[in-house]
């Protein structure tokens, strides 16, 4: 999807979810940047949660993913996978 089409889709989604609880699963972190709560998953476990700015400050994994994508990189990079495996983020118990 080109940049203009992507922006139009995200604007429409933003309007549709306004005032509603919405679960968005995304690989593009820009898609979820404005979310009230973002859950960071690693190996099927929640390792961090919070808004974008808080995660940049508290989650090494989230910050590395954000920096990788912001610099035009890919999350499929083996170096990032290795770094994720070594991240000191503490796994949080899932809430029911």
Residue-by-residue pLDDT tens, the chain, 96 positions: 677 887 888 888 888 888 888 888 877 788 888 889 999 998 889 999 999 999 999 999 999 989 988 888 777 766 666 666 666 554 444 444
Residue 40: the pLDDT is: 92
Residue 14: the pLDDT is: 83
Closest CA to 34 of 59, 48, 53: 53
CA–CA gap between residue 38 and residue 11 (Å, rounded): 19
Where do the domains of the chain lie, and which CATH numbers do they carry?
A: 3-86 (3.40.50.300)
pTM: 0.68
């Amino acid at each position: 999807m080109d940049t203009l089409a992507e922006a139009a889709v995200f604007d429409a989604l933003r309007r549709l979810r306004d005032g509603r609880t919405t679960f968005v699963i995304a690989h593009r972190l820009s898609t979820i940047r404005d979310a009230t709560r973002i859950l960071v998953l690693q190996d099927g476990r929640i390792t961090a949660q919070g808004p974008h700015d808080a995660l940049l400050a508290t989650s090494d994994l989230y910050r590395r993913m954000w920096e990788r994508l912001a610099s035009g990189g890919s999350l499929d990079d083996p170096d990032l996978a290795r770094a994720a495996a070594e991240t000191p983020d503490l796994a949080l118990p899932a809430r029911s």
